[in-house]
Chain A
Amino acid sequence: MSKVIVVTSGKGGVGKTTSAAAIGTGLALRGKKTVIIDFDVGLRNLDLIMGCERRVVFDFINVINDGIRLNQALIKDKRVDNLFILPTSQTRDKEALAAEGVAKVIEELRKDFDYIICDSPAGIERGAYMALYHADEAIVVTNPEVSSVRDSDRILGILNSKSKRAEHGDDPVKQHLLLTRYDLDRVQRGEMLKLDDVLEILAIPVLGVIPQCGSVLQASNLGMPVVLDDKSKAGQAYKDAVSRLLGEDVDLRYVTPQKRGLVDWLLRRSA
């Protein structure tokens, strides 16, 4: 059975595209046939993060409006089996996302894929609404920061009232918190909201905590989703999140400090 998962946040620049690319790739690595769709019309970015920008001929918008077949627009990843990208247009605007057109594409993809990951644009307007409308599940990407948490809460409200599931009175969209750019040192110094604070306010289950990590920028420079970097902490954390998405019980990493007792300190010094 296929699942549509929206990666959304309200606030911009919190790590939606990074997360959509990482989690989509992670699912494909686990053998799930996966497509990642870029809903950020006009600000095409997913193809850059996935490193397939030079292979884009047709896009999502061409399929919706210009009679291009879906197969012609889907880009097959060269590194990972079972992984496809549906890029968006750089030149059109969000109005090009006609509701019936989007519905048709999602329906067609559902026949063929296990997972359909929708990378939402920021904001709570048309583009974001289109990205979340068909969702069975939502990954709400949040940074430990006041405005991001607030916007996440608003997105949760919209998922509960404006999604197709809400409109049809089906089971609600299953919601997951993905806390990204988490800086444990700053959390410990009391400068940054901690996981528990965010959980208390948003009150949805946590899918993962992704540490602030230099490897994310590096991966984006290379056009490689960060889960393909075995040495990256963020990559590991995304892999764990994928396991949880698949129903496995995996402990959270990078949320509790390593002990800094005296013995530990001495050990470190002598190491």
Chain B
Amino acid sequence: MRFFDFFRLSRRDDSANKAKERLTVLVALDRTGGGGPDFLPLLQRELLEVIRKYVDVDQEKVNVDFQAGTGFSTLEVNVELPNQLAQLRAG
């Protein structure tokens, strides 16, 4: 048995390291108040208003995503334009 233990050591699982990496990010985020920054809902609403000045889109078509990381975080804004506009452009 012990003999095989040597081999097992060389085939180390590294899920503990993964756990530590994830935790480091998670805990850092929790400490700043958890999840994304709390201005996100307001940002989403104001973006919608601006976009509506130019295009007629509805609430669900504007999507704001926040992805946190240790080095930097990304904010992704997706706006689905209405069909009409897409056709206009094509035409």
> Chain B residues near A154 (CB, 8 Å)?
30
Q: Known interface pairs A188-B9, A189-B8. Does A150 touch B23 (Cβ–Cβ under 8 Å)?
A: yes
Interface size class of A (residues with CB under 8 A): 20 to 34
Q: Specify the main secondary structure of chain B where it touches its partner.
A: helix
Give every chain A residue within 8 A of B14 (Cβ-Cβ). 190
Q: Given A146-B19, A146-B23, A268-B2, are A189 and B30 also a contact pair (CB < 8 Å)?
A: no
> In the complex, what residues of B have CB within 8 A of residue A191's CB?
13, 15-16
CB B3 to nearest CB in A, in angstroms, measures 8
Q: Which A residues are CB-close (under 8 A) to B22?
A: 146
Q: Is the interface of A mostly helix, strand, loop or mixed?
A: helix
CA distance A190 to B8 in the complex (A): 11
Give the total number of A-B pairs whose CB atoms are below 8 A apart: 51
Contacts of B13 in A (CB 8 A): 189-191
Contact count band on B: 10 to 19
A260 near B19 with CB under 8 A, answer no
Contact partner of A197 among B20, B26, B31, CB < 8 A?
Answer: B20
Asked if A109 CB lies within 8 Å of chain B CBs, one says no
- Known pairs A153-B31, A197-B16; list 6 more (Cβ under 8 Å): A149-B27, A190-B14, A200-B20, A201-B20, A201-B24, A260-B2
What are 8 inter-chain pairs, A to B, with CB distance below 8 A?
A146-B23, A150-B23, A153-B27, A188-B9, A190-B14, A190-B15, A197-B16, A200-B20
Per CB-CB distance, the 9 closest pairs between chain A and chain B, nearest first, are A190-B12, A190-B13, A197-B20, A153-B27, A190-B16, A191-B13, A146-B19, A190-B14, A193-B16
